[in-house]
Amino acid sequence: MNNKFIKIFLITINFLIISKLSFAQHDADSLTNILLIWNLEDNFNKKYVKLLDSSACIFHIINKENKNSILNSNLGNLGSANISDIFIKREDKFNQDFSFNSPYYLFIKDSKSANYYDTRRPFTSAMHSTSFKVNNIQTLKFTHTQNINPNFNIAADFDYTSSLGTYISQKTSVNTSTITLNYKKEKYSIYASYIRNKIDNQNSGGYIDTVGSEDVFKEGFMSEAKFLIKNQELSVTQFYKFGDYKNIAFNDSVIKVLEPKTSVSHSISLYKKYRVYNDTEVPGSKLPNPSFFYQEGKTADSTSVIGMSNKFRYASEKAFEDKNKFQFSVILEADLKEYYNFKDYIILKNSNTFFENNISGNVITDKFLDIKASLFAKFYFSGYRQNDFRTELNLLKSINKETSPINLHFNTQYSYYKPDYFTQNYYSNHYQWDNKFENSQRLNTSLNIDIPKYEMNFIIASSAIKNHVFYGSISKPMQYDSIIYVFTAGIEKNFKLNMFYIKNKLYWQKSNKTNIISLPTLAAYHSTFLRIDLKSKSSFFLGYEVNFSTAYKAKSFNSSIGQFYQENIDAPTIGNYPFIALFFNMKIKKNVLLSLKYEHINSGLMYEKYPLQINHYPVYGRVFRFAVRWTFKN
């Protein structure tokens, strides 16, 4: 660990000690710990979430990519650029305003994904994982939250990932720091957050395949290439509820309880996102379509977007919804954005400024046939995204609620949107383009069937995309003006046989344009483990897991522009290869989780070459990882 990491760890320990000493004791009713965690979707709607990593049987799944999807492609190191090979698990492009974040969006937090807390006791959780191998994988997650009084909570979240990598120029460092506070009292509440994301990675440009020699993948295509991505956001959201007070008898006394009818809210966010890329190269064939527009030999590119967002919301509350059997919300947003390019810094010395305004609304009701229906619409009426819009319909229905419930969820969504600003306008030392792409159109439809009693879930989904923007074989944005269809069907089923548990996930996918969207036809995950409960209220889990897919064309990655692209002609066929791991997890009483995991144990046994996930980027071999998570409930 470097000195900076040690300093962060010591600060964390000091914070814990101070918190323990300063927190006042609660009354007897607080002996039972209550912890609520939620996000503010669109900075307004509460979405409650579960405590991360709280289930011992899946504690060994540490990587964020693997938590999101059963099949992923990355650059062969933890914390590197990645993309899900399950199409429905990929990033939603509609709200994208900085495309350089896309390969790392699972690591990046913002005001909509920041966690807010409410707890009767101080709550602290610390998790650390490491690998016993030269690639030196390290992760640290730390959360502390406490209520200063019953109405006021503060919290700090820290998430750090680093790895040297197996091969040269693979070092990654990813960290996210979040501070939140929330205050609520009767009609008024306020939420504030500060989020800082930093991704500092090296990149080799891929490796020259020298299988058979002693220098397997020792030589990279590029030298001294690295980039830095930073995202910072400060957000404040305020709510005020309108309604009357109702007298309620409680313990031989009468208390007044607010019955809110409607509310008004305001949210303001200040943010900055930027990327700096550096490399030292000579003219040649190491870069895809190599060019030097401003300076040969040394490159220093930078791009950024700086913005301020104001949102105003008017919405229904419980008393109104109970009476009228529906709920509504209307949001008006004004967003000021300034985009900066290499050209703006060096040549023009100016920026592109847009004042974007949009309005959105949502209506939810269950008045008809006991079906919960939600209708959402959003429309941009000025700025760079003028005339962009989205409509969405969700229908939820539960069958056999009293006996064996079956939950049905139907979703259809239509989006009409401009490509990200930097896919239209980009200027760097290696690449330049000034595109005039048409708006993309996308229709998504899905049906999800969940049967909790049998631990079974089905999903059927389709996407029809017109004017799809992608990075083609020369690493530049291209647009396909016809329609691309992608179909997905998936099933998840769990079994229990005495002390043995079996988890299965299977996806089938079909794309009609595999040269643009390349996907495996089948992708599967299987895990079997033994659970033994001990008398000491502890338990352990011993098992294995396998990830597998059928063959498909590998994607490539261009470090200069920070994007995946589809090379096709020279791209290898990957897949038809299992990744097998063994794991041992243990839960010690209620507050400690341990994990030992031996990843990719079949490395070198079943393949004549090192397997790839991205063209020219081999996956790492066998890795033994240890993880511990300790929860303190003071």
Nearest CA to 409 among 371, 378, 370? Answer: 371
Q: Are 487 and 462 in contact (CB under 8 A)?
A: yes
Q: Distance between CA 55 and CA 236 in Å, rounded?
A: 32
- The CATH number given to whatever domain includes residue 616 is 2.40.170.20
pLDDT at 217 (0 to 100): 64
pLDDT at 32 (0 to 100): 41
pLDDT at 548 (0 to 100): 96
DSSP 415-473: EEEPPPHHHHEEE-SS-EEE--PPPEEEEEEEEEEEEGGGTEEEEEEEEEEEEEEEE-T
Phi, psi angles (nearest 5°) of residue 516: -110, -50
Q: Distance between CA 221 and CA 632 in Å, rounded?
A: 47
Q: Distance between CA 6 and CA 138 in Å, rounded?
A: 13
Q: Distance between CA 400 and CA 30 in Å, rounded?
A: 37
Q: Are 273 and 195 in contact (CB under 8 A)?
A: no
pLDDT, tens digit, for every residue of 596-614? 999 999 988 876 667 889 9
pLDDT at 92 (0 to 100): 92
Overall domain count for the chain = 1
Q: Are 168 and 76 in contact (CB under 8 A)?
A: no
Q: Distance between CA 364 and CA 622 in Å, rounded?
A: 50
Q: Point out the residues of the chain with pLDDT beneath 50.
A: 1-2, 4-32, 212-213, 285
pLDDT at 333 (0 to 100): 97
Burial class of residue 137 in the structure, from the number of CB atoms within 10 Å of its CB (0-12 exposed, 13-18 middle, 19+ buried): buried
Q: What is the amino acid identity at position 592?
A: V
Provide the token pair at 170: 């693979």
> If you count them, how many residues does the chain have?
634
Provide the token pair at 366: 């269950």
Which residues are CB-neighbours of 212 under 8 A, at least 6 positions away? none
458 backbone φψ class: left, alpha, beta (φ>0; ψ -120 to 50): beta
pLDDT at 290 (0 to 100): 64
Q: What is the amino acid identity at position 498?
A: N
Range of the domain at 190: 3-633
pLDDT, tens digit, for every residue of 375-415? 999 999 999 999 999 999 999 999 987 778 999 999 999 99
Phi, psi angles (nearest 5°) of residue 474: -100, 20
